[in-house]
């Protein structure tokens, strides 16, 4: 029986992060939330901190991040650029030097449908930012995750993953024509597959991993979309008004953050991992007849063989490995 099936969480599409965290005490826990200074990441960071966790927010744009966190002294701002391998290493080294365990790693930072650019290693920017940078970050922080003796890693994916599996023959669009939405879809599939393989390799060390579709939320992630695109995907109406319909995935930031917080903290997920979630629930596998905006996860995004293959590719493209897991 597939573990990729609903478990009866008691929550739903309109649930908020505050409702998910109610009654939870995260005192003594440490969390890192990438992208925690805007959009969903900021709501997640504040929610975890409000429950007592020590929350670190690494950010590339320090000016923007300082302004966003000015009213949130409970959040600790650090510097890190997911497109810069040296920056990731430096951030991880600083955290490891503190000797603290890391209980929660929330991979929320991302870019969507951007023009073709590449990181210093030549990797396409969406694949590099959304997946490879987070892969390297988790590898470098691995000792702290193990030290927590019960950590969770949450990779923020998307229903957009349905647009493309990972193209293992040309992941960086070196030979095929670049399509920003195909590149985004590939990176979101990679997020889901990363959680599958990380969970398989990390479970024995008490590190469990989840991927999650938070919903469609109008945030800075949509900066490359024009009004025509926003209407096409159902975010605004013909008059430009914002559409909110949680049942169809159009959510507020507080509703979108709920599924991320649920994956990070729900006791119903104890002993579980390697699953794709949405609407504060483990998703069912989609049969392929649904649209990209319908619920469920495509089989190619939770395929263990593809997940292992992506892991090997990620080690090659980043030059980084999880030493303790190399023989797993």
b/e map of 129-167 (b: 16 or more CB within 10 Å)? bbbbbbbbbbbbbbebbbbbeebbbbbbbbbbbbbbbbb
Q: Is 184 a catalytic residue?
A: yes
d(CA 14, CA 247): 7
The sign one gets for the Cα dihedral 62, 152, 83, 186 is: negative
Burial of 73 (0-12, 13-18, 19+ CB in 10 A): exposed
Please identify which of the residues 37, 178, 184, 224 carries the catalytic annotation. Answer: 184
Return the DSSP state at 78.
E
How would DSSP label each residue in 276-323?
Answer: EEETTEEPPBP-S-S-TTSSSB-GGGS-HHHHHHHHHHHHHHH----G
The helix, strand and coil proportions of the chain, stated in percent and rounded to the nearest 5, come to: 40, 15, 45
Nearest to 172 by CA among 137, 128, 135: 128
- Quote the CA–CA distance of 110 and 91 in Å, as a whole number: 18
Taking the alpha carbons at both ends of the chain, their separation in whole angstroms is 23
Q: Which DSSP helix (H) or strand (E) runs through 105? A: strand 104-107
Structure-token pair, residue 181: 């939405």
Cα 147 to Cα 241: distance, rounded to the nearest angstrom: 48
Query: Which residues are known to be catalytic?
Result: 184
């Amino acid at each position: 029986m597939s573990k990729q099936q609903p478990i009866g969480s008691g929550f739903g599409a309109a649930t908020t992060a505050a409702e998910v965290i109610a009654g939870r005490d995260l005192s003594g826990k440490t969390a890192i939330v990438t992208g925690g200074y805007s959009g969903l990441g900021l709501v997640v960071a504040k929610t975890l901190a409000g429950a007592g966790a020590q929350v670190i927010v690494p950010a590339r744009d320090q000016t923007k991040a300082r302004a966003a966190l000015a009213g949130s002294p409970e959040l600790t701002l650090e510097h890190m650029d997911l497109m810069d391998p040296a920056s990731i290493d430096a951030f991880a080294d600083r955290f490891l030097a503190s000797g603290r365990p890391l209980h929660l790693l929330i991979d929320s930072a991302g870019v969507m449908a951007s023009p073709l650019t590449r990181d210093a290693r030549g990797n396409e920017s969406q694949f590099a930012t959304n997946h490879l940078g987070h892969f390297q970050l988790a590898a470098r922080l691995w000792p702290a995750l193990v030290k927590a003796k019960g950590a969770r890693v949450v990779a923020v994916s998307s229903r957009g993953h349905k647009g493309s599996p990972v193209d293992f023959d040309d992941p960086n669009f070196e030979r095929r024509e670049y399509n920003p939405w195909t590149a985004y879809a590939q990176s979101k599939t990679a997020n889901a597959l990363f959680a599958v393989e990380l969970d398989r390799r990390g479970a024995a060390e008490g590190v469990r991993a989840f991927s999650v579709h938070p919903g469609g939320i109008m945030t800075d992630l949509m900066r490359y979309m024009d009004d025509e695109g926003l209407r096409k995907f159902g975010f605004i109406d013909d008059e430009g008004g914002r559409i909110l319909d949680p049942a169809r995935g159009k959510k507020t930031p507080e509703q979108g953050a709920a599924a991320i917080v649920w994956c990070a903290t729900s006791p119903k997920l104890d002993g579980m991992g390697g699953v794709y979630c949405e609407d504060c629930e483990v998703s069912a596998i989609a049969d392929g007849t649904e649209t990209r905006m319908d619920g469920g996860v495509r089989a190619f995004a939770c395929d263990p063989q593809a997940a292992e293959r992506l892991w090997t590719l990620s080690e090659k493209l980043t030059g980084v490995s999880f030493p303790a897991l190399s023989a797993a």
